[in-house]
Structures are given as C-alpha cells and as structure tokens.
Amino acid sequence: MSRAHRAGPGRVRWAGHWPRPWFVVREAARAARRHVGTAVAIVVTATLSLAMLGGALLVRAQIDSLKGAWYDTTQVAVYLTGDASAGQVAALGDALEADPLVEQVWFEDQQTAYANFTDQFADSPDLVAEVTPDQLPRSYRLSLVDPETGDQITARYADRAGVRQVVDEHAQLATLFDVLGGFATAALVLAVIQAAAAVVLIVNMVSSTVLLRARELRVGRVMGATRTQLAVPFLAEVACYGLAGAGGAVAILAVAKVELVDQRLAASGVLSGIVGYVGWDALWGTLPWLLVAGVGVPVAVTAGLLWRHLHR
Amino acid sequence: MSAKTVPLTRRPPVLLDGVCVTYPGSRSPALRDVTLHVAPGDLCSLVGSSGAGKTTLLRVLTGELRPSAGTAIVAGLDVGSLPARRLPRLRRRIGVASQDPNLLPGRDAVGNIVYALELLGAHPKVAHRRAVDTLDRLGVAHLAGRTPEQMSGGERARVAIARALATGPQVLIADEPTGALDPDTTRTVIDTLAAAADTGVAVIMATHDVVAVDRLGRRVVRLDGGRVSEDTTGGYAHAGFAPPPAAPTRRSLRGAR
C-alpha cells in the first residue's frame, strides 16, 4: 500500500514559497495585455493624480524658496542725520558690530546710496535728475540673526545721537510673508488631499483587477498555492502600474518646469536675482513622495485587501 | 481499527472515522458518524439526494470544514487539527475538480496546467513536461493546444481533471463533474476519472448521475440524512468495505505508459 501511495503521477518538487520572478513578470505583462483598457486607465489615473500631487509639492517648494530669498535679503536700515559727526557714526558702527542680534553691518555712504537710487529709479530719469548725492542720507544696513527681531533694533537705536530713523524692511514685508505662508500651507494641504485622492483612485482601479483575476485566484487556492504565491504576482502588477504612473507624473512635471518656469518665468526676468526658481533637485525631491503615494500605499492597501480575501 | 491506530504506512489516502459535522446555528448534524476509507486506485462515487451531506463530506476532505467529532485524515494530514496556514499543503496533496471547470480563458489546455504548476513554484520546463504528460495519460492529448473557448463542456471538464491531477495528488475530489453534461459527454468525463483512478489516485466523485455510476460498476457510497446508508461495489449490491481494484491492473497500466 505504501508504494501505491506514491503511485499516480508522482510528486513535484515545489520551489519554496515565493513564485519565480520570471513567472511574476510574465503574468503581470499578460494581465496588462489581456485587460489593456483597464491597465491604460489605471496608469493614466495614476499619472494625472500623481502629477497633481507633485505639482502641489513643487508649488510649496517654490513658495518656500521665495520666502527664504526675501528673508535673506531684507535688512534693517539705520539712517543717519546729515549733521552726525564722524565720532557718532563710528561709535554707532561699533555698537552695531557688537550687537548680538546683528549678523552683519554695511555702511552705505552718500555715493553708494545715490548709485542704488539711480539703479532703482532708472525708469524715471526726471526723478534721478533732480536728486544729488548730498540729498541722500548715509545709513548702516544690517542683516539680523533673526529677521523677526527688527523691532528690538528699532527700540535700541532710534533715539541715539546722529540717528534719524530706523527702518525695518522685514516689518514692512510682514503682510507679504503672511500671505506667502498662507499659500505654502494651502499648497501643503492641497498636496495631502491630492495624495489621498491619488491613493484612493489607484486602489479603486486596482481592486477592479482583483475581479478580473478572481478566476486565477480561485484556481490557485484550490491547487494549494500559499497566500504569498497568490499575492505576489498581483502586487507586482499593482507596483508596475504605480511605477508607470510615477514615471509619467515626473515627465509631466519636467515638461511643466521647462515650459513654464524655465522658458516663460525665468526668461521674462520677473523676480530674477532675488529668487531661485524651482530646480531639478526639487523635481527629483518629489519622486520619493510620488513613489510612496503611487506604489507604496497602493501595494500595501492591495496586500491588506488580498490578505483578507485569501484567508481560508 | 480507528483511523489513528492504522499504521501510517498503511493509511489509505482518505480515512474518515466517525466523522460528524454540525454547521454553526444548526441543530441537526449535516454528517453523522461517517466512516469511509478510500484506497489508492479506488473510484468511489458519492450519491444521495440533495442535502444528504455529499457536499459537506467533500468540504471536509478539502479542509474547508473541520469535523465536529471523529477523525478525518486526508493524504496523511489530520484535517481536524490542521491550522489554516497549513491548508495549502493539504491542497497540494489533493486535486479538486468542481462542476465549474474554472479554466483560465485565453490559455490553451497546456497553458492552464502550466499556470497552476508555475504558481506553485515549478520550473517552467518541468511544468510544461508534466502538463503534456498528464493530458496524454488521461487520453486528452488532442486538447493540448485548444483554449477553453474552443472546447466543449465535456472537454473543459476533462482538462480541469487533468489540471487537478498534474500536481501528483494522492486524492482526486470531483464535485458534480458531469453536472451540466449530456449522457455521452458524461461517459467521457467519467472515463477520464476512471483513468485517473487507474494510475493509483484515490478518486471520490459526488454525483447525481446514477445511470453513469451504475454503468461504471465501481464503488458507490450512498449518503442519506448525513449517514452512510450504503457502501457497495457496483454489481455486488451489499453494504460494507469495497476492495480496491486489483493492484496488477494499476501496475500493468503504469508499465504500459
């Protein structure tokens, strides 16, 4: 009888729990070919929603760099009275140099002030013609360790001998910074919503492929495939769609960067010299997030769905 | 002799001993004290009216249900104590052919079998060779290159049987394999099952088709209200343990291949 037990076609030597990689690739390709409409729909959905997510992330990065650039260039100007003595000016300079709130101090004499003035109003030659260097005040220009501390500087130096006025450019720009900060937050919220929408859309599309492969799953279960063996080809398929979507999204963002930022915005010269535009590094920086939203989360969610579906 | 005291090496591939099954929420058991031994090479037809317990019995054999009492040892595994994660191991040792052949569309007969074997980790070349061999052994080699769309219902059922056998199971469980087929086609499908039994597999077939079973002239187990009411070998209308078909038949068949 024991010999008869081994009768029949004989045993197959099964290779562990994991399906062979080449089998997984072939099955994923076969499924995509067989349900080409669904596959295209999934990839297009993933591409568009991931491009929106990436776009939101890039807008946020741009706003951050804009904000940073202005923060770095804003200064406090300490204007001197016309009759301030050389000793007063030097004492004030020493005091500012020694002040722990101050990062750096430049002295702007009347010639430099005039040069900056003519630059700034180059479009209004009439105005420039009426002003002479001796009409412009000398000033100390300060950059602060923390731009928010401008009011303390004002309090300390406004009443000193030889000081006419302390102007805190940062305080003047505070409203602008508030607005920019609001935009950055909005972009972040938008990115989070886009990420959630991308994940939901991709998972929805993928769960429709569960139905398309219900027969394969049934056959596999009856034949004694483990859950890993059943799930891996499936998850590989989902990962492929997500990868294709992330690739498409990066391509769309790259085209948008070249077309909109490099060729329009940068070429127009608006803001040039003040702000760094969104660069390739920022574009690559979005890729991990696109992969998380496009591949990581859908694969994890599909695995969870499948795991429950395949239980017993 | 109770199932657990039968020496391991002599255990038949299907060994049910006093198996009872009660569905949750139901007061009357679906199976009562069923004792059934099926030896290698047996072709055992399970008959009985709807609700007699045929499907419940098959579900015990495939590990979907645990007996509430008694012992069920299938292909050497104790179904009653088999944890869920070990079910795939049981299912690799048994073959299941259901009424719906469940062939994958767009793949020919060989492709269907190769898919199942490769999913389980077989090397593609090995899988292909086994698929062709199995179809050949069951006398359906001519279907090898046909997709399910190009097959008749009976042909699909026979390919499904070949797929169930391709892993080399000790037990083949067929649930109404001829359910939707005409008498001529039914005969070819049952011949395929007989061919499977003749290679030494223990075959259990649940069926309503008493005519086909009679014509077959092999072991018949009748279930009635969850009990075995009759266990006969066709032509010998008596209850009791039916001897498996003579070993020389199997041996000579294997030799002939």
CB-based contact A12 B130, cutoff 8 Å: yes
Q: How would DSSP label each residue in chain B?
A: --GGGS-GGG--SEEEEEEEE--TT-SS-SEEEEEEEE-TT-EEEEE--TTSSHHHHHHHHTTSS--SEEEEEETTEEGGG--GGGHHHHHHHEEEE-SS--PPTTS-HHHHHHHHHHHTT--HHHHHHHHHHHHHHTT-GGGTT--GGGS-HHHHHHHHHHHHHTT--SEEEEESTTTT--HHHHHHHHHHHHHHHHTT-EEEEE-S-HHHHHHHTSEEEEEETTEEEEEEETTB---SPPPPPPHHHHHHHHHH-
User: Looking at per-residue confidence, does B116 or B183 come out higher?
Assistant: B116
Cα of A13 to nearest chain B Cα, Å: 7
Report the pLDDT value the prediction gives residue A272, as an integer from 0 to 100: 52
pLDDT band at A269 (very low <50, low <70, confident <90, very high): low
How long is chain A?
Answer: 312
A133-171 tens-digit pLDDT: 888 888 888 888 887 788 888 888 888 888 888 888 777
Given a contact cutoff of 8 angstroms between Cβ atoms, the answer to whether A306 and A206 are in contact is no
Site from A3, A12, A20 to mutate, B interface, most B CB atoms within 10 angstroms? A12
Report the pLDDT value the prediction gives residue B43, as an integer from 0 to 100: 93
CB-based contact B121 A18, cutoff 8 Å: yes
The residue among A137, A116, A117 whose CA lies nearest residue A128 is A117
Residue of B120, B130, B164 lying closest to A229 (CB–CB)? B120
The residue among A26, A28, A22 whose CA lies nearest residue A212 is A28
User: Could you tell me which chain A residue has the CA closest to the CA of B125?
Assistant: A23
Q: Is the pLDDT score of A33 beyond 90?
A: no
Report CA-CA distances (Å) from A140 to A169, A249, B245.
13, 49, 110
B182-237 tens-digit pLDDT: 888 888 889 899 989 998 999 999 998 888 888 888 899 999 999 999 888 744 33
CB-based contact B199 A23, cutoff 8 Å: no
Report the pLDDT value the prediction gives residue A312, as an integer from 0 to 100: 44
B209, with CB counted inside 10 A (0-12, 13-18, 19+), is buried
Question: For residue B175, what are its two tokens?
Answer: 């649930």
Strand partners, A107: A140
CB-based contact A15 B122, cutoff 8 Å: yes
Report CA-CA distances (Å) from B30 to B48, B81, B228, B253, B256.
13, 20, 12, 39, 43
Q: Which residues of B touch A224 (CB under 8 A)?
A: 87-94, 120, 167
Q: Is the pLDDT score of B31 beyond 80?
A: yes
CB-based contact A12 B40, cutoff 8 Å: no
pTM above the 0.80 mark? no
- Range from A8-17, A88-97, A186-195, B236-245 carrying the lowest mean pLDDT: B236-245
Q: Give the count of beta carbons closer than 10 Å to the beta carbon of residue A280.
A: 10
CA quadruple A263, A265, A271, A276: dihedral sign: negative
Mean pLDDT rounded to a whole number for chain A: 80
Report the pLDDT value the prediction gives residue A171, as an integer from 0 to 100: 73
In single-letter form, the type of residue at position B59 comes to: R
Report the pLDDT value the prediction gives residue A74, as an integer from 0 to 100: 62
pLDDT band at B257 (very low <50, low <70, confident <90, very high): very low
Q: Is the pLDDT score of A85 beyond 80?
A: yes
User: Could you tell me which chain B residue has the CA closest to the CA of A15?
Assistant: B121
Question: For residue B2, what are its two tokens?
Answer: 């109770």
B202-206 and B171-175 beta bridge pairing: parallel
How far is residue B171's CA from residue B76's CA, in Å, rounded to a whole number?
Answer: 11
Q: Is the pLDDT score of B131 beyond 60?
A: yes
Report the pLDDT value the prediction gives residue B9, as an integer from 0 to 100: 60
How far is residue B173's CA from residue B207's CA, in Å, rounded to a whole number?
Answer: 11
